[in-house]
Chain A
């Protein structure tokens, strides 16, 4: 029988149940299967190495997501995305709101989940990640803040902006205006 380290055994027990959701999140961030696999692989290796510094009893899920997200930001794709970060990205959400559109209503009428996926995929990465952590992972604002290492207020403003952008895109898309996404593309609104 081989002897095992209790610390590494605990890491595997804690980390593997998060595998599917971490991969899904990585895939949403990178938009590429190979890059997502590399990102998850690196996240797990880093997690194992740094597990001795992790305090048991604290939020392991947020810890793993933070590793993955930080690893992504230092990857080639991550660096390319963050190169286009505007100086003050949180202040111009109002101009994107399309109050006279009701995209949710149209969406629900069409029951087109692929349309929603496309809309999420077109979100700038910092809106995409905060929206996915909130909606898919059902993280609290505090947990998202911890994961992304940003203040809770920033979480709220980014979420608001992400949702507004999503509705804007859905509205444009449903109206057949393909040019709508260029307004909120990563090049202009990377952050």
Chain B
């Protein structure tokens, strides 16, 4: 067969693997040889068929994801910005919570003291500041029976300079208490007595901020009761009356 030698190299020619000179010779031969030209055409079409049909199998998306994960760069063991941010957020939240609690507590305390001052002023401004008018502690104390859910003692005021004007019901944060009014050298002093557990904030004497109040005030807790002594009298007078109450309780 005349084309036998060409035919043996036809696949190599179609694969583009012949040398430059041999390829040029092949080009010329194929253009002029009908038999080799037809053979080359069918082989090219077979190559194309294998090329297209051979890409028959496609990996699943899940498998692709798994392989990608298996070769994905692993994060190194050092704190990244994400961790730093997360830590910072956590610290801010904790500090925020603590601050909020502290500030809230301070706010509650401040609010209690302000309210006590308001009660004191409002009572003195009233046309009837007391509901029970008596200088006798044995008259005033029984008056509160059945009106408040606790009992308390009133001090003996003989030779103390203080005098009892009377008493009335009072309410602090919707909790009932006793409001007593004393007089010392024409200054009126209010003494409030409430159940400690009914108050909205934990109070102590150190919590007092006299500079923020226009009155002198002293407070303490004794026997489950919270006492407030407040007035425009001197600090010494406030303290003296407080001592009398403490001694009586």
User: Interface readout for A144-165 with B: 1 if CB under 8 Å, 0 if not?
Assistant: 0000000000001001100100
Task: Write the nearest CB–CB distance from A25 to chain B, whole angstroms.
Answer: 9
Complex Cα spacing A44 to B65, Å? 13
Contact B73 A102 (CB under 8 A): no
Complex Cα spacing A5 to B71, Å? 12
Task: Write the nearest CB–CB distance from A8 to chain B, whole angstroms.
Answer: 5
Stretch at the interface among B39-47, B128-136, B171-179, B191-199: B39-47
Task: Check A113/B53 contact, CB under 8 A, given A3-B76, A48-B71.
Answer: yes
**Is A15 in the interface zone, CB < 8 Å from B?**
yes
**Is B212 in the interface zone, CB < 8 Å from A?**
no
Contact A136 B54 (CB under 8 A): yes
**Is B50 in the interface zone, CB < 8 Å from A?**
yes
Question: In which size bucket is the chain A interface?
Answer: 35 or more
Contact B55 A136 (CB under 8 A): yes
Task: Write the nearest CB–CB distance from A102 to chain B, whole angstroms.
Answer: 7
Complex Cα spacing A59 to B238, Å? 96
**Is B70 in the interface zone, CB < 8 Å from A?**
yes
**Is B20 in the interface zone, CB < 8 Å from A?**
no
Residues in chain A near residue B47, CB distance under 8 A: 135
**Is A4 in the interface zone, CB < 8 Å from B?**
yes
Near A by CB (< 8 A), chain B positions 82-132 give: 82
Task: Write the nearest CB–CB distance from A164 to chain B, whole angstroms.
Answer: 10
Give the total number of A-B pairs whose CB atoms are below 8 A apart: 112
Contact A116 B73 (CB under 8 A): no
Contact B42 A104 (CB under 8 A): yes
Contact B11 A107 (CB under 8 A): no
Contact A104 B45 (CB under 8 A): yes
Contact B50 A12 (CB under 8 A): no
User: Interface readout for A34-74 with B: 1 if CB under 8 Å, 0 if not?
Assistant: 00110011001101100000000000000000000000000
Complex Cα spacing A156 to B18, Å? 12
Task: Check A117/B75 contact, CB under 8 A, given A37-B63, A104-B42, A135-B47.
Answer: no
Q: Which residues of B contact A (CB under 8 A)?
A: 11-12, 15-17, 42-43, 45-47, 49-59, 63-64, 66-68, 70-76, 78, 80-82
Q: Which residues of A contact B (CB under 8 A)?
A: 1-5, 8-9, 11-12, 15-16, 19-21, 23-24, 27-28, 33, 36-37, 40-41, 44-45, 47-48, 102, 104-105, 107-108, 113-114, 116-117, 120, 131-132, 134-136, 138, 140-141, 156, 159-160, 163, 166
